[in-house]
Amino acid sequence: MTPSPSGESSLNLDPNVAAALSYVCGMLSGIAFLILEKQNRYVRFHAMQSTITFVLVLIADLLLMGLGVIGFVLAVPFIIAVVVLWVFLMFKAMNGVPYKLPYVGEWAEQQVR
């Protein structure tokens, strides 16, 4: 069961704001919020989902770079999709929606239990 945004954050931030901020700098902000947030499972879930998602994005980007010209051509729509996903996840988190990405969301949820 995905955590809800209720409860207090140990960072003295609204849980929705803290969850959205965990996506701002991709995996770096996700890791920072995982380290700093000790009690709110909603914030920790979004921080973990951010970390996992953007580590996978980094790996995919590195793989695309290794494909030469084809990778460069594929990188453009990939980057656009990543930016859309990034904004979507921040929007959902800010509005208190514990949106789980397929596979990644399940894995993130298991990690914060």
Return the DSSP state at 2: P
Give this prediction's pTM. Answer: 0.87
Quote the pLDDT of residue 7: 65
Mean pLDDT of the residues in the chain: 89
Q: What is the DSSP string of 20-53?
A: HHHHHTTHHHHHHHHHH--S-HHHHHHHHHHHHH
User: What confidence category does residue 12 fall into, taking pLDDT thresholds of 50, 70 and 90?
Assistant: confident
Domain positions in the chain are 15-107
Q: Give 53-106 pLDDT, tens digit per residue.
A: 999 999 999 999 888 888 889 999 999 999 999 999 999 999 988 789 999 999
99 burial level (CB within 10 Å; 0-12, 13-18, 19+): middle
Q: Which residue has the tokens 């596979």?
A: 103
User: Does the pLDDT of residue 31 top 90, yes or no?
Assistant: yes
